[in-house]
A and B are shown apart, each in its own frame.
Chain A
Amino acid sequence: MKLKSKIDWVGYLYILPAFIFLGVFIFYGIGYNFFVSLTNWNGVSDTKEFVGFENYTKLLTQDQNFINSLINTVKIAAMVLVVATIVGFLLALVFTILQKMKGVNLLKGLFFIPHIMSQMVIGLTFKGPVFNQNFGFLNNFLETIGLGLLKQNWMGDLSIVLFSVGGTFIYTQIGFAMVIYITGLLTIPEETIDAAKIDGAGFWQIVTKIILPQISTTHTMVFIYLMVNTIKQFDLIWIMTEGGPGSATELVSTYNYRQAMIFYNQGYAAAISVIVLMLVLAISSVVISIQLKE
């Protein structure tokens, strides 16, 4: 067919509106950010003084708060990756096994709802009704089942609060991991599992020897999405603690916002953004290369 080799110049016209939006708000933004990161601009004044890479050297060598926010982000990422992946996979396995039963979809929905609800609502729910030291559900529950010793000041104790917000974040990500795993599990061919059963493989053997290796792409996807979701995380933390008390729950995102909008060090904030953006682009280029291979 000669028709197929013709060049559709009009294609550029069809992609133009999308690229105008990307250009104005994202590509221009990335360039502008880099430019501002080389200045000591406060975000308001008319003058920007060029300082070269001073912001970067200060960030990476002297700023304990930045290092602390990176460490906190990594800690939350580790919590989410371990817990949400394992619980999400097990739930997905159970729901795939039970898929033909009535009402199971609604049950599954219950695990996913925290992911689609506003993080502002989830954040306020945990801050007060769940974690409040005096009237919160968690401490009341521990008291009721005789574990009053374990009661904590969930939002105020410096050594615990990162786990409290991390737990809240995990609550929103379990359903997400679960749904991706379900999609992956449904792609496993029937014959593979039937063959294993005929060979006399037991439940755990099928899970560990057949199912887990078969969905290797899904593992990668869940891992990368959860990591990027963690780096993006801002809303929950800002609602629950604003990075406090002290800097106990300060993440890279909240620190970036604080430098820009509260301390008015926008040149410095832009340098933080550039570093994070490079990190995220490195991760997402891995994802894109995986997805293009499909």
Chain B
Amino acid sequence: MIESIVNKRTKRILLAFTIFLAAIFAMPLYNLFKRSLGFAGFENYTKVIQLEYFDAFFVNSLLIACSTLVIRIAVVSLAAYAFSKMKFPGRNQLFVIGIIGLFTPPFTLLVSLFQTVKGMNLLDSWIGVSLPLVSFGIGFNLLLFKNYFDTIPNELFEAADIDGASHWDKFRNIILPLGRPAIITGSIFTFINSWNEFFLPLLLVRQTKNFPLTLSPYFFVSAYTSDYSKVYAAMILISIPIILVYLINQRFVESGLTGGAVKG
């Protein structure tokens, strides 16, 4: 085991050094927190929450994150089941095409995205942000889900075939319960990424009342001009849900980072 390559004393030194490094790493965020308490202390936080648009920003972020999550996980689970357990002509080629979006930078499609969403009459709405957002995450999640579904034994499906189960039955009774680790990991990633999404709203949302939290600095800065402590308080508030989601699900997040594809 790797852990046995150093002795106890060295381990303690390493631990001390890592704690020191972690303290340095925490400094920027600690300073953000310190600044957020400037002038009025925690009152900055209550002021931000009471701000007329804060509820709207929060609701918009939640709508974008939740709708993206539900749609993306639904379409990816179905597709990953087919790619993992069904046999049809062109399966492997279609899979490669399906994950090609894995690395497509959203900015390279900005000209067409704007026109497409405009053509759908969805500019300036949360759903107009979620629909493209669903597409950009399909590649990563498809890889993650298929890699995991591949580990579910084929015998289970053959046994179900003998009982006359349809694909839909097998999807509901085998894939959904046994594929849960992948589905949870994909959902957490999708929630975190959509909550943090900055580029698509910047491109597709214009009116302040439709902003998600990630665009809120543009409003707060103009509303407060010199009182940056409230902007920083808002930054802390925006981050809390994400940090909580991560800490509660730390194991899932860390294991799924590469679509479950790192082996040595």
Give the interface of A toward B (CB within 8 A).
1, 3-12, 14-15, 17-19, 21-22, 24-26, 28-30, 32-33, 36, 43, 91, 93-101, 104-105, 107, 109-114, 116-122, 124-126, 128-130, 137, 171, 176, 179-180, 182-185, 187-188, 190, 193-194, 197, 203, 206-207, 211, 214-218, 221, 225, 228, 231-232, 234-235, 238-239, 253, 256-257, 260-261, 266, 269-270, 273-274, 276-277, 280-281, 283-284, 287-288, 291-292, 294
Residue of A25, A30, A116, A125 contacting most chain B CB atoms (<10 Å): A25
Asked whether B161 is an interface residue with its Cβ less than 8 Å from the other chain, the reply is yes
For the complex, what is the distance from the CA of A259 to the CA of B138, rounded to whole Å?
A: 28
Q: Does B135 contact A19, Cβ atoms closer than 8 Å?
A: no
Per-residue contact bits, chain B 218-245, to A (CB 8 Å; 1 contact, 0 not): 0000000000100110010011001100
With contacts A98-B3, A269-B111, A284-B103 taken as known, whether A14 is within 8 angstroms of B28 at the C-beta atoms is no
Chain A residues near B261: list those with CB within 8 A.
221, 291, 294
Q: Which of B74-94 contact A (CB under 8 A)?
A: 74-76, 78-79, 81-83, 86-89, 91, 94
Chain A residues near B232: list those with CB within 8 A.
124-125, 128-129
Q: Does A260 contact B196, Cβ atoms closer than 8 Å?
A: no
With contacts A21-B134, A120-B214, A128-B228 taken as known, whether A97 is within 8 angstroms of B2 at the C-beta atoms is yes
A188 in complex: contacting residue of B110, B198, B213, B264, CB < 8 Å: B264
Chain B residues near A257: list those with CB within 8 A.
107, 110
A137 in complex: contacting residue of B31, B108, B247, CB < 8 Å: B31
Task: Please name the residue on chain A nearest to B137 by beta carbon.
Answer: A21
Excluding A3-B161, A110-B25, 6 further A-B contacts by CB distance (< 8 Å) are A18-B142, A19-B79, A22-B138, A96-B3, A120-B217, A121-B235
Does more than half of chain B's interface fall in helix, strand or loop, or is it mixed? helix
B198 in complex: contacting residue of A12, A17, A99, A118, CB < 8 Å: A118
A-B contact pairs, 14 of them (CB 8 A): A24-B116, A25-B113, A99-B3, A101-B11, A120-B198, A121-B238, A125-B29, A125-B235, A129-B35, A137-B28, A225-B258, A232-B107, A234-B107, A291-B259
Asked whether B255 is an interface residue with its Cβ less than 8 Å from the other chain, the reply is yes
Chain B residues near A207: list those with CB within 8 A.
5
For the complex, what is the distance from the CA of A287 to the CA of B89, rounded to whole Å?
A: 24
Task: Please name the residue on chain B nearest to A236 by beta carbon.
Answer: B198
Task: Please name the residue on chain A nearest to B203 by beta carbon.
Answer: A261
Task: Please name the residue on chain A nearest to B142 by beta carbon.
Answer: A18
